[in-house]
Copies of this chain bind each other. A is one copy, B any other.
Amino acid sequence: MLEWCSGDSSHWVTLSQFEIFVKIYLHQTHHSIADLDGIFSYLEEQMGPQKSPGLHLFPEGQLVGYPLQDLYLDPSFIGSFHKALEKFNAFSTSMEREKEGEEETLFLLGGPEYEYSSRSTPRGIPQNIYNSIYAVSPGHPLKPIYRKQLLPGYDIFDEPKYFTPGTENKVLSFRGKKLALLICEDMWSSPSSPCDPVSLLGEEGAPLDLIVNLSASPFHLEKDHMRTERAKEVCHHLRAPLAYVNRVGGEDGILFDGGSFVAHENGILAKAPFFEKNVLVWEMPSSPKKENVSPPKVPKARPRKGAWESLFHFRLDDRNPPQIRPLNRDDLDLALAAIQFGLREYADKNGFQKFLVALSGGLDSALVLTLTKLALAPGLTLEALSMPGNFTSPKSNELTRSLCEKLEVPCRFLPIKFLHASSRQAFLSAFDSPLEGIADENIQSRLRALFLYARSNQDGAMVVNTSNKSELSVGYSTQYGDGVGAVSPLGDLYKSEVYQLAHHINDRYGSLIDPEILGRPPSAELRPGQKDSDSLPEYPVLDAILEGLTSYGLSVSDLVERGHRREDVEKVRRLQSLSEFKRSSFCPVIKLKFKSYGFGHRVPISKKL
């Protein structure tokens, strides 16, 4: 493997005189975090006697998964990782090296690189950890050759917590082709970044034959479009195609969607599917012979938005007052795929073979049941549980039954009326004071959580949460009641989007969700005649205000200026602020949006409103 050094232009000219095709394999892998056995077995298989000659690209963090968070620092994990490296190196060095003239094979893989101070052994304390690219070819050991320069720390990212940034670009030569290496964020440099690897490559590295970006890029609905647009800009700037490999995996609520691609400046040349393991093969065309001239002057990269600016993004239209832009059909298809994938991933990685959904007769739980049904894969089952109480309407029970029949989901009924009455009695005896108001409402919700988890404990079922983003935002739920669950499929969809997704499913799959469920006014049914709109602004108003406030996009004043009522906006902000404690005990939310609750949302509970 020959390395190209900036300034030495004679070198690549010699190599580029071979006119050869290079076969490129983009391995969109799918391994659990820290599944060292699975990860290294796959690599051995790819490098073994059945190997395909060519350039094999793997995602960022391929060697361990991504993101490991504190596991990066865990001495037991570090020990296992180094053992796995040794074992793999023993294997790869035992492979026969390629002979002169034979087609070469090169693997480029992401993984952490631990650096130790001179006195320490690798079992000691690392001085630095880099987020690196390793190279390996048959007959050689793994060798780190590039260190990620731009370490994202916004939203769900915590890279500066663990990694030290690299400081040098890397261009290497493979079969006469000049390849520039980038890791994920390196491609997304901005004026406020500490450096700009893409611009520097333009100055030092050109002309290039290929840009390689190994990524672990988290999904949201707009992400693929952003990646493609940015890839085209980079290709334009560096005058070379870009091979972008992304991992596949659901890590708690954070999804890695694959969708690896090869781009050139005008579009996409090849693309892998979303949310599934895949190897995309692309044959790099022969390029015109390069003459021994100095690298061409390339234009400066177009100015990009500031680092903060990319966070300030919201889906509101220009009406007065603004409303949320509806999700289009592509968005809804993608959301559907993402939620199904997220549910299966959580179940699979945490050892669940069964889902359990509590049904109320309302839309949220009906949609969750439908989504979970659609997510089922071989080896996975689903059960519904209906727990009617004092204020559950007969219509709710009827709709619950018919939904389960239509979806062919077994449904259990566990009325809580008697237990509710007994709880009131026990409370009255203990406190000489009747259970009433919010305390009485919540106890029903908590009794339901109690039985959901009793069933879960009994047969190992995974409780799927049914809260939506609107409720979660304003705390319109009971902590340790309907707020429970292992993972939240709707926690990143506002109530208005819940309706859209339900209608979309009915369009796609025939009317699975009864129009009557879609037409009922939302209610928690915890007291007689209760409606969500008793406590909250109507959902279209609520959701628009929330989107402005939670996306970092608009302030209270901005929303008022654009036509929302000040009392609504202030009430929503107040409720949102007061309910932080509920979100802090909430389960992982399947991330669908730019800005979501869950790991990337960090707001103090204790604060002045």
> Are B33 and A608 neighbours in the complex by a CB distance under 8 Å?
yes
Q: Which residues of B contact A309 (CB under 8 A)?
A: 125, 127
Instruction: Find out whether the CB atom of B76 lies under 8 angstroms from the CB atom of A556.
Output: yes
CB distance from A170 to the nearest CB of B (A): 21
Tell me, yes or no, whether A70 is within 8 Å of chain B by CB. Answer: yes
Residue in contact with A252 in the complex, picked from B76, B588, B604, CB distance below 8 Å = B604
| Residues on the B chain within 8 Å of A129, using CB | 308
How many angstroms between the C-alpha atoms of A346 and B160 in the bound complex? 30
Contact: A419 with B418, CB < 8 Å?
no
Q: Which of A7-15, A446-454, A503-511 contacts B (4 or more CB under 8 A)?
A: A446-454
Choose, from A212-220, A276-284, A579-587, the stretch at the interface: A579-587
Check A406 for interface membership: any CB of B closer than 8 A. Answer: no
Q: Which of A72-125 contact B (CB under 8 A)?
A: 73-76, 78-79, 117, 123, 125
Flag if B74 contacts A552 (CB, 8 Å): yes
Residue A433 lies at the interface, judged by CB distance under 8 Å to chain B: yes
Residue in B161, B308, B480, B581 whose beta carbon sits within 8 Å of that of A73 in the complex: B308
Q: Which of A123, A450, A587 gathers most chain B CB within 10 Å?
A: A450
- Give A356 to B365 CA distance when docked, in angstroms: 33
Nearest-neighbour CB distance to chain B for A302, whole angstroms, equals: 16
> Is A141 on the interface with B (CB-CB < 8 A)?
no
With A73-B311, A125-B312, A604-B252 in contact, do A581 and B350 touch (Cβ < 8 Å)? yes
Q: Which residue of B lies closest to A349 (CB)?
A: B606
Once the chains are docked, how many angstroms separate the CA of A454 from the CA of B439?
5
Q: Please give, as numbers and ranges, the residues of chain B lying within 8 Å of A153 by CB-CB distance.
A: 153, 158, 160-161
Of the stretches A48-56, A61-69, A199-207, the one at the interface is A61-69
Q: Please list 15 pairs of residues, one from A and one from B, whose beta carbons are closer than 8 Å in the complex, sorted by A's number.
A: A33-B604, A36-B608, A38-B608, A68-B604, A75-B558, A153-B161, A154-B161, A164-B192, A345-B606, A426-B451, A436-B458, A440-B454, A443-B454, A446-B454, A584-B588
Shortest Cβ-Cβ A-B pairs, 7 listed: A414-B430, A439-B457, A35-B608, A349-B606, A160-B160, A75-B555, A33-B607
